[in-house]
């Protein structure tokens, strides 16, 4: 017998779903400000419309993933893509997602090492600490991932808020940039589709663990709102210092440095934590896929993917990512479109799921 949603403890479950949603979507590019700059701040004042649009898109797309997950109960994201894309294209989608997630694992390990190098603690200190955190948390599987996000996401939100308040109070932009077109719409679509497709493996696991649509919807929309607030804070921070940050690879880190040494160290920790959330989500998703394909233990694949990620970070895949990213972005738009027009099959237990 399936437990009722009331016994699931909605007041506890919903924040966990929201935090995991946020932690999965937010990565180093988001926290550093580079991703928000590239998608929204470069659009000028109208970029904020893109941020608002993204809140709706992330919430709507996330809800559709949950609905499909509850209806077809896939063992891995391969089965999800087979349903949404059909048998012909699902293999390509499965391969692209898996490759890109593994590449991102390597990039996040390299980024973690770079952060610790930046603050004077050494590259391999960052790598070693990241490995320890990944193993300790993911050996607990999904409960460990949810628990980690419940701790990390509030820290990320607070760090972003502190730097944003400083940036907005000490604004130095004489004239704010603006555009007269509607390119922010495409930017919002690209941002939402790219981030959500990468989050699909974890979202499907949440739908499996919490088979109550009411909780999943509430958690998804709450997560989308938190993401929107964070993106808006970062956007306005960059806009108000636009002239000085146009060439910056890490806009929010530069603002944190200006705010003072203490704020800079705290935000470095925040940036590392956001890399950890990406690491955890990506390794978890690929490990679940490999367990479904091979039947081998989840912990075995966690160790293999962790070591593989460290090696990728050492080799360096920046050129590969630069070439693969645009292709992957357009692929994500196609996936999201096909997913949204796909009709969710009816199930006898649908009434239970809605309660």
Q: Which CATH number does the domain housing residue 95 bear?
A: 1.20.1740.10
Asked whether residue 306 carries a pLDDT value surpassing 90, the answer given is yes
In a domain, 349, yes or no: no
What is the per-residue pLDDT across 217-262, written as a single tens digit (0 to 9) for each?
A: 888 888 888 888 888 888 888 888 887 777 777 788 888 888 888 8
Is 255 among the domain residues?
yes
In the chain, the number of structural domains is 1
The answer on pLDDT for 351 being more than 50 is: no
Residue 26 has pLDDT above 50, yes or no: yes
pLDDT at 354 over 60: no
Q: For residue 228, is it within any domain?
A: yes
Looking at residue 175, its pLDDT comes to 58
Q: What is the mean pLDDT of the chain?
A: 80
Cα distance between residue 101 and residue 268, in whole Å: 23
Give the domain range for residue 310.
11-343
Residue 200 lies in a domain: yes
For the segment 27-50, the average pLDDT, to the nearest whole number, is 80
For residue 141, CA distances in Å to 121, 162, 244 come to: 30, 32, 43
**How far apart, in Å, are the Cα atoms of 327 and each of 80, 81, 100, 322, 330?**
21, 18, 11, 10, 5
Domain membership flag for residue 334: yes
Closest CA to 266 of 279, 277, 252: 252
Mean pLDDT of 289-303: 89
Residues 6+ positions from 254 with CB-CB distance below 8 Å: 244, 245, 248
What average pLDDT does this structure show over 120-149? Answer: 88
238 assigned to some structural domain: yes
Per the domain annotation, does 2 fall within a domain? no
- Here the tokens at position 72 are 């077809």
Residue 102 in domain: yes
């Amino acid at each position: 017998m399936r437990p009722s949603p009331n016994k699931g403890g909605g007041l506890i479950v919903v924040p966990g779903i929201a935090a995991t949603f946020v932690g999965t979507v937010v990565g180093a590019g988001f926290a550093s400000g580079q991703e928000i700059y590239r998608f929204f701040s470069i659009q000028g004042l109208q970029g904020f419309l893109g941020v608002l649009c993204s809140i709706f898109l992330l919430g709507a797309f996330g809800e559709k993933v949950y609905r499909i997950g509850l209806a077809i109960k896939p063992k891995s994201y391969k089965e999800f893509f087979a349903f949404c894309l059909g048998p012909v294209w699902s293999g390509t989608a499965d391969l692209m997602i898996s490759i890109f997630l593994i590449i991102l694992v390597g990039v996040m390990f390299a980024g973690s090492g770079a952060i610790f190098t930046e603050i004077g603690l050494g590259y391999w200190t960052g790598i070693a600490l990241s490995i320890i955190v990944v193993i300790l948390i993911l050996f607990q599987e999904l409960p460990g991932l949810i628990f980690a996000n419940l701790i990390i996401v509030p820290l990320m939100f607070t760090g972003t808020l502190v730097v944003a308040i400083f940036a907005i109070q000490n604004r130095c932009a004489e004239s704010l940039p603006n555009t007269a077109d509607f390119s922010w719409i495409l930017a919002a679509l690209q941002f939402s589709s790219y981030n959500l497709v990468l989050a699909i493996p974890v979202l499907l696991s949440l739908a499996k663990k919490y088979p109550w649509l009411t909780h999943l919807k509430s958690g998804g929309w709450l997560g989308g709102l938190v993401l929107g607030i964070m993106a808006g804070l970062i956007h306005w921070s960059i806009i108000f210092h636009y002239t000085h940050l146009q060439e910056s690879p890490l806009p929010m880190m530069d603002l944190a440095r200006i705010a003072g040494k203490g704020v800079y160290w705290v935000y470095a920790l925040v940036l590392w934590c956001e890399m950890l959330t990406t690491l955890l989500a990506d390794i978890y998703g690929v490990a679940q896929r490999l367990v479904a394909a091979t039947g081998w233990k989840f912990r075995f694949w966690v160790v293999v993917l962790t070591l593989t990620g460290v090696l990728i970070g050492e080799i360096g895949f920046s050129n590969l990512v630069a070439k693969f990213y645009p292709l992957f972005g357009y692929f994500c738009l196609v996936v999201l479109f096909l997913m949204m027009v796909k009709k969710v099959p009816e199930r006898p237990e649908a009434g239970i799921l809605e309660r």
